[in-house]
Structure 1
């Protein structure tokens, strides 16, 4: 025996799987049986003919009638040593009872499901013992109703036809007294733990259950407008239920229906009305609660499956539901607008009408336009996963459902809208962003869609002007009336206003991505960890900063600017390199929550590899020229021309000076004059380079070239990198009449300063598009960039700048732009180009 029990225990999971599979097969079989005996077209005709409020009332009564059965499981779990949580009990109880109602098989499925749900923490023997006691009381309620029905048949003024059921009613009424006698026999110790309170609760629950069943059946008949006596229907229903139970047919399908049809016909209810009555009763008491139970069962099983595979199934299902939601909202919204714009197309062409909401003929023109455009707006909010869009989407869909039911009931459209609503609920976890930030990609798509729909509506109006005559008549362009078209146009204007208000609501948030420049905080980080060639740009104050902190201490710093939905990060971060990956992830998460996508401009290959692991693509933008100042010399053939120019300047008494801050007012005036002439009226640029700002220039040394009279003719401001690896400059400007070798002289002297101060390299800056896309197998975008490099001299001296810097450069370092894979490269580059060339604010 022990071996047998051990063998069974090892195969518990297999038996559970077989049981659940069997339940699934039985459920499918019963649903198919109901489907065969149910005419969907007839059901739709009946529901359409009924008043919408009557249909809603039937649904509410049916759901309320199921609720008393939930107390069975509450009482059952109170008898167990390990009590599950109440929400879990209520959920599983609904599943068990609605499935058992449909296909009970004498309670076998009910017992099996309860064992599956509650037998995990409780010993199986204890569960079966408690369950066997509770199940005995399930029939107590109908037994009481059998006695009441018998009294109605014998002493009430009922139809003589009901007297033939007296034997069934007597048999049913005996069950409850016999049960009380058995459970209170002292020699039967099995029921000792069933107190009078628990028995009263079980009997009360059973009585409420059958009261709900009767209420549902009677309510359906009354809401149909049928004339019958409640005192006659109650005994008939109870007797037919007893007959159905004795037949052991799941849900009493067949035997109950036949007996009820015969009985109702005998009581004067027309046969067709009786058929519809039973059909609606099964729909609202059996099928709809069962459908809800099936959803709860799917959710329950899905949770277990999801936990087993670390949340991956739930995430995948949520993403699929989200995709389906966005698609359905856009399609439904577009079709609703089109149904109001070209109504003839939806009525004259069956292929179009078959797949559109307009085919249900439930909406007038104005609601079609309103619901259509609002669904498109909800589609955008859902597509961007904005948390604030969730409830408005639910409310809009519920409003649409109510409108359909109220205006002209359409069963098919209700199903469609409920499915979309289900997609919303299933994808709720996808709604996490704080606000909506419109990207250029979204503006392009939505702009084209909205403008196309509105333009089509205007064209239809012009086409239908009374004085216009058409040689070829397009029926689908015919509009019912000019008045309706004008009303629709006014609706579009009103709806557009609502869309703007809704868009503002979604995009409004007090949460910011980063913070403005705090110089003390920045300097503390740079002093501890050092910086790079773009660190000094922080002090321009034209960008925002994002700090990554560890235990409240800033350890990594990003500088960026926002353009639409792009967070354009200038250069690489500064700070503790060991925290870069964690900082990138934190920055991405915060940006994504707010609806922004990160783009990193001018970053090196090593940093690009970190970004690539985070889902970024990249594009080479050019190369930076580095001069090894420790080994630099002007000697040799390569720099012969440079030596000649510098020697000439020396002979003309041009002098280089390295000036440390603070600077005099007179010097700043001189440098301002040089800068203004250099700019020649053009606006200063910012973002990726500095601009003439006295406060900014006063933060670092400046190298100047002076003529023999001591007048400054050229200058370059140093950009501290806060490390000893490299030195670089920002602005390099000179008078137009300065000697031709002034830039070479300035560079070579700066090389000497860098060498004296112990730097290894001098960074001469970018050569845009240098060595980009020259290989045959380069990315397509990079090959296009190479074409611009080769033939774009008219717009920018790409090759000239590269050739000039190559005179001095001892190595070139590639620079890249990294952008998200789901982002448009074209729009990203345009936004970068605009930002880089934008005048300073």
Structure 2
């Protein structure tokens, strides 16, 4: 697989070389000096006398180079056609023999590497390309025929439908048709407009074929039921229940005993937490998932995985980087007695005077109470976006799931002042994980401490062992007794600057008041070059790039499903193979 990738990258670099030189050659001072080189390494010997064509061809080659490096089958086909046509034109019409040899060498290299380019395109994107073609050509022909009809008295020879069609199609490539134009302005404007439309169509086609997509979960009822069964029968991690979030996709191992929950963003599979399943099946589902991703030229990263399991990923060629620490409370024999609990005891005690605590299944709450709780959520968030991907379920309190528990603070009038929603942790050390934490902005300080401490006490009463509270991103960088390296000091400085906007430091300090056990988590990624991209996409998935006005442009568009196997080791029909 790595050898295939190296060959594909080499071909991509050679293609990019032609595009880069062609773009640079459009600069006036550079074009004179690079004129001969442009003839050698660019298809069709395009010269800088036509900057529109030069820029368009340069951009197209650079974009095509990136797709070739990803081993895209459709990119390989485009490149074969492009360099093959270039060879014919250079040899027969332009007589640029060196350029013809370069194009021929690229064709031979591409043909010899045919087996390396197996990654299919994304079906939804190809579908839009198919839809684009008739609309594009309908627009072109309506425009072309209308223009030639109004100019029919100044055309020589007399226009016919066939000659009109020839003129329009050839004009898209900058080639003169059979007509002679008597009016100078039309002789310049009409062919130029057709060329611009041709360039625009080429760029639009390339973008539609190769542009990234984002998946929106489209999971069948049977697959969701299977995922729920795996989570309930085999899971043990505090984040496992969040795999069932409604915008995630599932990949199930071939033995049907393990799954991976993920989303697909910009040709990157972002896995939510560690794989879930029977212990012997975990390596199997990881291997099958990586094989599926690499076979389709997807990037892959595992987000918020346990640092203790990093060898699972490192042994498969991935790298890891520290992400943060999860705060987990041992609820057994929990008590607020003692000096270290003084501040928490006082703040929660103030609320205890006017509010009572209630633990209840979400399905047992009245419709009126559900509406009041969701209203608290809306007022608490204000205009802030809902954040979370790996550690939240991203849905309102609906009263439909019997697994959820609500922890509600109710005042003397029976009105809620705040609430928690918790989801179960299965396995030998069972407990609950915090999903939602909300309070009425008008309630007194200490409401959060009241809800958390009473929930911990309730879990102890129920015989549970642990309660997962919050996640403190990059928490290690806020320790005071650590000897940081120069790089770590720089990272700490950046985090201190970001902290007021994303509550990084304050969340760590708040969690520390409850004296949790810190469980470190990390990101597993493919290589250093992919880490900035993974970080950007992860930030977007978690909701940190939801910015006013421009935020929606920071992510690719959304489609229903990326079109891939959902069961490891099982060949699934691919619609793009027949496209």
Q: TM-score, normalised by structure 1?
A: 0.51
Is this contact kept in 1: 2:217–2:247, CA < 8 A? no
2:17 aligns with 331
Aligned pair in 2 of structure 1 residues 819, 487: CA closer, same or farther (>3 Å)?
A: farther
> In structure 1, what is the equivalent of residue 290 of structure 2?
588
Change (3 A) 1:823 1:694: farther
1:405 aligns with 2:109: no
Q: 2:358 maps to what in 1?
A: 657
Q: Is the 8 A contact 1:513 1:546 kept in 2?
A: no
Give 1:753's aligned residue.
Answer: 458
Pairing 1:8-47 to 2, within 5 Å after superposition: none
Q: How does 1:431-446 map to 2 (within 5 A)?
A: 431-435=117-121
SS at match of 1:767: strand
Change in CA separation of 1:534 and 1:502 when aligned onto 2, cut-off 3 Å = same
CA distance in 2, matches of 1:487, 1:336: 23
Equivalent position of 1:421 in the other structure: 107
5+ residue gaps, structure 2: 124-184, 547-551, 553-557, 559-579
Counterpart of 1:353 (choices 13, 29, 36) is 36
**Deviation at 1:742?**
2.2
Partner of 1:565: 267
Query: SS of 1:666's equivalent?
Result: helix
Q: Contact 1:335–1:357 (CA<8 Å) still a contact in 2?
A: no
Equivalent residue, structure 2, for 1:51: none
Show CA shifts across 1:439-481 (max 9, x none): xxxxxxxxxxxxxxxxxxxxxxxxxxxxxxxxxxxxxxxxxxx
Whether the 8 Å CA contact 2:258–2:282 is kept in 1: the answer is yes
**Rg larger in 1 or in 2?**
1
Are the structure 2 counterparts of residues 717 and 492 from structure 1 closer, same or farther at C-alpha, using a change threshold of 3 Å? same
**SS state of the match for residue 602, structure 1?**
strand
Deviations 1:634-660 (A, max 9, x none): 11110122223444444x252211112
**How far 1:770 sits from its partner (Å)?**
0.8
- Please say if 1:742 is aligned against 2:428: no
Provide closer, same or farther for how the CA distance between residues 395 and 663 of structure 1 changes in structure 2, counting only shifts above 3 A.
same
Cα distance in 1 for residues equivalent to 2:20 and 2:497? 45
Give the equivalent residue in structure 2 for 1:820. 526
Q: 1:589 to 1:783 in 2, by over 3 A?
A: farther
Deviations 1:355-401 (Å, cap 9, x if unpaired)? Answer: 85289996565686776555444423312211122233222222111
Higher relative contact order at CA 8 Å, sep ≥6: structure 1 or structure 2?
2
Q: Deviations over 1:728-771 (max 9, x none)?
A: 22111122232322222211221122212322222112122211
1:546 and 2:247 aligned: no
Q: Is the 8 Å Cα contact of residues 616 and 820 (structure 1) preserved in structure 2? A: yes
Seen in structure 2, the aligned counterparts of structure 1 residues 621 and 484 have a Cα distance that, compared at 3 Å, is farther
Contact 1:548 1:583 in 2 (8 A): yes
The 3-state SS of whatever aligns with 1:633 is coil
Task: Indicate if the aligned counterparts of 1:386 and 1:436 stay in contact, CA closer than 8 A.
Answer: no
Per-residue CA shift, 1:651-688, capped at 9, x if unaligned? x2522111123322122122123222222344433424
Q: 3-state DSSP class of the match of 1:549? A: coil
In the alignment, is the contact (CA less than 8 A) between 1:514 and 1:544 conserved in 2?
yes
Contact 1:531-1:722 within 8 A present in 2 as well: yes
Tell me by how many angstroms 1:793 deviates: 4.2
In structure 2, the partner of 1:702 is 406
CA distance in 1, matches of 2:63, 2:265: 22
In structure 2, the partner of 1:504 is 208
Matched with 2:417 is 713
As a proportion of its length, which structure holds more helix?
1
Q: Which moved more, 1:364-373 or 1:578-587?
A: 364-373
Distance 1:824 1:496, change over 3 A: farther
Contact 1:565–1:597, Cα closer than 8 Å, also in 2: yes
Alpha carbons of structure 1 residues 675 and 813: separation in structure 2 relative to 1, 3 Å: same
1:86-485 correspondence runs (5 A): 316=3, 321-336=7-22, 341=26, 349=33, 353=36, 356-357=39-40, 372=58, 374-435=60-121
User: What residue number does 2:378 align with?
Assistant: 676
Query: Which among 738, 751, 770 is matched to residue 475 of structure 2?
Result: 770
Q: Match of 2:386, SS? A: coil
1:826, distance to aligned residue in structure 2 (A): 2.8
> Partners in 1 of 2:188 and 2:62 — Cα distance?
22
Going from structure 1 to structure 2, the CA distance change for 1:745 and 1:324 (only over 3 Å counts) comes to: closer
SS at match of 1:675: helix
Alignment partner, residue 835 of structure 1: 541
Counterparts of 1:783-794 in structure 2 under 5 Å?
783-794=489-500
Does the Cα contact within 8 Å between 2:329 and 2:466 map onto a contact in 1? Answer: yes
Residue range with higher mean Cα deviation, 683-692 or 574-583: 683-692
Secondary structure of 1:639's aligned partner: helix
1:321, 1:426 within 8 Å by CA — same for their partners in 2? no
Match in the other structure for 2:309: 607
Q: Contact 1:533–1:721 at 8 Å: present in 2 too?
A: yes
- Listed as ranges, the matches of 1:720-731 within 5 Å are 720-725=424-429, 726-731=431-436
C-alpha distance in structure 1 between counterparts of 2:103 and 2:354, whole Å? 85
Are the equivalent residues in 2 in contact too, given 1:560–1:569 (CA < 8 A)? yes
Q: Secondary structure at the match of 2:467?
A: strand
What corresponds to 1:29 in structure 2?
none
Contact 1:772–1:786 (Cα < 8 Å) also in 2: yes
1:574 and 2:276 matched: yes
Mapped partners of 1:490, 1:672: distance in 2? 56
Deviates more, 1:516-525 or 1:583-592: 516-525
CA distance in 2, matches of 1:344, 1:490: 29
| Residue aligning to 1:461 | none
Q: Kindly state the Cα deviation for residue 701 of structure 1 after the two structures are TM-superposed.
A: 1.7
Q: Report how far residue 490 of structure 1 moved.
A: 6.0
Aligned residue pairs total 475
Q: TM-score, normalised by structure 2?
A: 0.72
Cα distance in 1 for residues equivalent to 2:385 and 2:460: 34
Inter-partner Cα distance in structure 2 for 1:362 and 1:743: 70
Alpha-carbon distance change, 610 to 383 in structure 1, aligned in 2, over 3 angstroms: same
2:10 and 2:69 in contact (8 A); partners too: no
Where 2:364 maps in the other structure, the secondary structure is coil
